[in-house]
């Protein structure tokens, strides 16, 4: 699909039904709306941190839709759309970012570190690329158990420079694991551009050196991403071999709320990708040309999606924080003496300096 939403090669058109394409668009734009509201909430001091997904929505939705729901996902930290496509509700996205009592992680993680066992999405870890060898181990276990499941592991081109990436690529190939390595090459590893990140031909070119099949795909074309991921999954499961996908896209937003990307790239560069080559506008052109989407549909959906996000946002903000005693759970089956002492010490401290600890804001 080109930038005007035209199918370039009819033989590569996945011929997805209208309902599926509309779901793609609604998930991509809902993610975009959630990003805008949570980004602003961080700027207002309501949450501590946030990372947007602007410009990379096509890589999320295209790949997620090509997987089986039982496939295991290891994300890096910019794959919220994958989890959203699998059915993770807005209430839980908000609960995680606000670290409230509804958060599945019980308030222990910083914002955007989502995870959901029921949806086969492994909790995000901040250290870069640690998920890569972990994904290999999970895929090897699936192979040993003959489970007909695949693992997909997302990472950026910057993470591909970590030693964990080399270890993961090599082990997955030699152990013949049903694993999809999905690299989101978005142009920048925080502030490091790709021309300073590597001298070779990107990330896909590394695959043959490890004995892996690889492909480079237009990450702003949601159908191309779907086709590549679908075939990669078929081969991974049927042939027990890893597959490396490099999706070329662009990170329109700052790396995170701790970053100011104007220090290392121009406004004109960002505006070009935002206005001329955005995965959401490509898909909208495609739908409009088929009579599947109109200006009235757009206005109605934008209004509805913003209302839905704001309702979840307001609910999360009013919710109590998790019980502080959860700090000491989920490590040992039974509380050990040293943890009991720490818990008692914490409560003594809170009582001594209670003017600094608003315990009424926490669940009892």
The model's pLDDT over 267-324, given as tens digits with 9 standing for 90+, comes to 999 999 999 999 999 999 999 999 999 999 999 999 999 999 999 999 999 999 999 9
Catalytic member of 40, 196, 239, 311: 40
Domain tally, the chain: 2
Specify the 3-state DSSP secondary structure of 77. coil
User: Is the domain of 313 the same as that of 328?
Assistant: no
User: Is the domain of 283 the same as that of 357?
Assistant: no
User: Is the domain of 40 the same as that of 92?
Assistant: yes
Residue 329's pLDDT is 95
Indicate if 255 belongs to the active site: yes
Please write the tens of the pLDDT for every residue from 72-81.
999 999 999 9
User: Is the domain of 300 the same as that of 334?
Assistant: no
Indicate if 278 belongs to the active site: no
DSSP secondary structure letters along 157-187 = TTGGGSHHHHHHHHHHHHTT--EEEEEEE-S
Please write the tens of the pLDDT for every residue from 329-342.
998 999 999 999 99
CATH number of the domain bearing residue 45: 3.40.50.970
User: Is the domain of 214 the same as that of 72?
Assistant: yes
User: Is the domain of 340 the same as that of 314?
Assistant: no
State the sign of the Cα–Cα–Cα–Cα dihedral 181, 187, 193, 196. positive
User: Is the domain of 33 the same as that of 129?
Assistant: yes
Please write the tens of the pLDDT for every residue from 206-260.
999 999 999 999 999 999 999 999 999 999 999 999 999 999 999 999 999 999 9
Indicate if 258 belongs to the active site: no
**Does some domain include residue 2?**
no
**Does some domain include residue 4?**
no
User: Is the domain of 133 the same as that of 271?
Assistant: yes
**Does some domain include residue 184?**
yes
User: Is the domain of 291 the same as that of 339?
Assistant: no
**Does some domain include residue 140?**
yes
Identify the CA nearest to 78 among candidates 199, 255, 246.
255
Radius of gyration of the chain (CA): 22
Residue 30's pLDDT is 98
**Does some domain include residue 134?**
yes
Catalytic member of 60, 113, 255, 278: 255
pTM: 0.96
Q: What is the average pLDDT across 157-183?
A: 98
Angle at 97 (CA atoms; ends 93, 102), nearest 5 degrees: 65
Mean pLDDT of the chain: 97
Indicate if 344 belongs to the active site: no
Catalytic member of 41, 172, 214, 256: 256
User: Is the domain of 191 the same as that of 272?
Assistant: yes
Q: What is the average pLDDT across 179-204?
A: 97
Query: By residue range, what is the domain housing residue 284?
Result: 10-318
């Amino acid at each position: 699909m080109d930038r005007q939403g035209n199918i370039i090669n009819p033989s590569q058109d996945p011929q997805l039904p209208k309902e599926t394409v509309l779901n793609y668009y609604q998930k991509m734009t809902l993610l975009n709306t959630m990003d805008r509201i949570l980004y602003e909430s961080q700027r207002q001091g309501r949450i501590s941190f946030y990372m947007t997904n602007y410009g990379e929505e096509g890589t999320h939705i295209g790949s997620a839709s090509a997987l089986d729901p039982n496939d295991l996902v290891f994300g890096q930290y910019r794959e919220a759309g994958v989890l959203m496509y699998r059915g993770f509700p807005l209430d839980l996205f908000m609960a995680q970012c606000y670290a409230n009592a509804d958060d599945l992680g019980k308030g222990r993680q910083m914002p955007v570190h989502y995870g959901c066992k029921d949806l086969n999405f492994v909790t995000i870890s901040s250290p870069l690329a640690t998920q890569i060898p972990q994904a290999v181990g999970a895929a090897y276990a699936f192979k040993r158990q003959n489970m007909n499941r695949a693992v997909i592991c997302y990472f950026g081109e910057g993470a591909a420079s970590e030693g964990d990436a080399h270890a993961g690529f090599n082990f997955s190939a030699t152990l013949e694991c049903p694993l999809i390595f999905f690299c989101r090459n978005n142009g920048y590893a925080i502030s490091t551009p790709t021309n300073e990140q590597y001298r070779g031909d990107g990330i896909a070119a590394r695959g043959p050196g490890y004995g892996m099949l690889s492909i480079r795909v237009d990450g702003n074309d949601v159908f191309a991403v779907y086709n590549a991921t679908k075939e990669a999954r078929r081969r991974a499961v049927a042939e027990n071999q890893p597959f490396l996908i490099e999706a070329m896209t662009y990170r329109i937003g700052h790396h995170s709320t701790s970053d100011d990307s104007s220090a290392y790239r121009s406004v004109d560069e960002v505006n070009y990708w935002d206005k001329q080559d955005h995965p959401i506008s490509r898909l909208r052109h495609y739908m409009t040309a088929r009579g599947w989407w109109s200006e009235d549909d757009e206005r109605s959906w934008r209004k509805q999606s913003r209302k839905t996000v704001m309702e979840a946002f307001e609910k999360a903000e009013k919710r109590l924080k998790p019980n502080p005693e959860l700090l000491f759970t989920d490590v040992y089956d039974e509380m050990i003496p040293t943890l009991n002492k720490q818990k008692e010490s914490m409560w003594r401290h809170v009582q001594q300096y209670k003017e600094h600890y608003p315990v009424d804001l926490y669940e009892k």
